[in-house]
Structure 1
Amino acid sequence: MKGSLPRKGQASRSTWRTRSLLLPLLAGIAFGCGGGAGNSPPLPPPGEPVILRVDPAKGPFTKLADAVAEAQRLQSATAGLEVLIEILGAGKERLEKNLALDGGDGTNGGRIRITSSAAYEILAGLFNVIVASQTSLQGVEVVLEGGKIQVNDGTFQPSKVTLNSPSSNILVNGNAAVLEGAVNQLAQVFCQQFSDPCVQISGNGRVAGISVTVSKTGGVGVGTVPGSNPLLENNAILLQALGALGVRYSDNSGGVFRNNQIEGDPPTTAGLALQARQTASGGTTGIQLDGAGSVPVIQSNRIVVGRIAGSVGIRILQGTQARTIAGNTFLARGEGAGVAIQVAPGTPEAVVAAYLAGNSFQGNFAERIGSGSAPTATPVPTPTLTPTPEPTPPPKTQTRPTPTPPPRRNPTPQREE
């Protein structure tokens, strides 16, 4: 009996040794699938993450996509596994398929975290970068040339995002989705060409610490989907084109918009000034509330109204109910051609008085609070004007006075005399 106990202990130790030898071997085989991992580490003890390193020059993984594929393979084999991907070397990577960061969506408790301390750039053509739940992508630079970035309940903390295609934008989907700058720095988002809002929010996620530059005429920096209630804070939105819009709240959407800065002062030239004078909508708009149900809390922001005619700090298109718009500083540029707050027709005087009392206005505004009847009425009369020119009697009346040549003949006989 006494001799059998050590044998059992020895047997258990031997099985533990074989397992400890097999784990590094299996891990080495698994790590080697991505981009060559001769120095791949063994699987860690439970509760500690697996670390995969990406270095375009040294490896063991030379591409982020290979490391992500390896992380997903490891997670599918081990429930609750956390994988940390560290990008150590600077480089560029062009995606050949969608880069889907999937930490298991909570099914197996896994998680994927990607960090980069180097200048690493991801070039996405027609492919998407998908940040699903239980995943985070931090510190990388993404250039979109047709694809999209989908933050589906994950965390995306880029250093820079450039949108070079009209169909490219950033989608923030879900109540746990986070889009923000990394390491207490503003994430640069350049909206050069796009058709949808540069950042489109669907859900109650958080967008913070990003700097959005809108440089296309009629472009929108941040927009919400109906029913969304996001938290937008500590962002900077720069409007550098005529008719550009900083933030657009669709109908039945709200949330909180606080501690942000909107700069509505595009670089003015003589041509832009003439275009702005010809139309009242030529200037920029900081925040626009589209529907009667769009009731965000707008407070403690700095909103700069551009010097071009037709620029508006906050535009309310519909509804007369009071909204929380307080503690904001409105600053007018130049000669004061813009309006600080443009209310909808029929807004109660008490609401107007609350806007004046709850916000501060600096500079020379054309109007601190103006009427919003002009922009809403312009699309309405256009269909009514089209049938009116259809009847041709007015041009016929103009053709009747054509017998004007007889008076012209009178001077001719004078010449004969």
Structure 2
Amino acid sequence: MANWCELQYDMLEVIAQHLTKIEDYVAFGAVCTSWRAAAANKKKNFRGIPLWKQIPCLMVAAKDENDVGDREFYSLLENEVVAKVKLPKLKGKRYLEALGWLLLIGEEGDMSLLNPFSSGPEISLPNQNTIPGYDRYEPDAFIFVEKFVLSARPSEAEEEEVEDYVVMLICGSVRFLAFWKPGDQSWNRIVLRVSVYSDVTYYNGQIYAVDKKGNVVVCNPKINGEARILATLCDRFWYLKQLYIAESEREESLLVVTRDNFPFFDDDVEDREPRYGTAEFKVFELDLSAAGGGGGGGQGQGGSWSSSRLCLKEIKSLGNRALFLGHSATVSFEVPSNGKLAPGIKPNHIYFTDDCWLGYGATAGGGGKDMGVYNMETGTVEPFYHAPKVLSYICPSAWITPNF
């Protein structure tokens, strides 16, 4: 019987170059070391990789309480579950996603980075208890972190020099910003906090965050970790809303997005569950060039930019972009003009998953029900995932951008 592991490398490359689907690629690289080496040359040997590295797919929540780490991945391109991956390291962990990497969080505050589509090593991070002020917030380590982003994808080499990327967290009961760089022995905290932070993104070398009062701040964690306010939304736009921040289709600009998924409770019902569900998004554009490009501009009283409101204006269209937001890092995806390159992905639409912490924490079975796709032109919501309802108290279904 032939030993498939002994196939010549050139032959393995020829086989790999015919792969277009994610499940085939994952299975190919899992055969043995030589097959994984052929799969590792992604740009050359996997025709599907350009799209799969850009378009998020849905990482479906665990289906029962006896979670052993197995996960299904639903593709908008294929309109079906395209991969079932065994991820035993997810067992007993909570996780968040950014750039295809998972931040794994244990009950004791231990944290690490894991690429679920790679056999590379898990990257250990300092424990939550090294975050300045950690003990002041009576933390439940399992739910201490609400969001995380990466400035760049980490290398997966076993032995690397100190790499140039940053891990940024929104954490604590008052939702402040903290960051870590390779080589640091502990977490660092961002100085400025006007209100509870809602979302954070990395753009053009700097970190931008938006809080629940509509303040947009900028900081460069590689310099000093200090932040300043760039702009502020009028309270009639942010009140009782979830806010997100993402890249715009225009250069030197960002988008601030509001979502009306704040939960409501019926006071006259005993053991009541919250009522919530997304019906509307509003999008505002922040002109960074008018705000000093994030690096200049005068500051008024309280650290806010004196003319900041002039930099934010409501827009009615995302142009050729689609947004993916929810229980993961917010993604702004430029939809190719040729629909054949990204079938199933619609420009000027917002794809969202359930991230209403106040809602699904008090809902029987947990969260995950508030998912859909919002049409910016018509203001309507449609479902995109028709599988049986899968709920979770700590890890609802979330977007993940595969990184092979």
Tell whether the structures are fold-level matches, with TM greater than 0.5: no
TM, length-normalised to structure 2: 0.28
TM-score by length of 1: 0.27
Based on CA coordinates, which of the two structures has the bigger radius of gyration?
1
**Higher share of residues assigned helix:** 1
Greater relative contact order: 1 or 2 (C-alpha under 8 angstroms, separation 6 or more)? Answer: 2
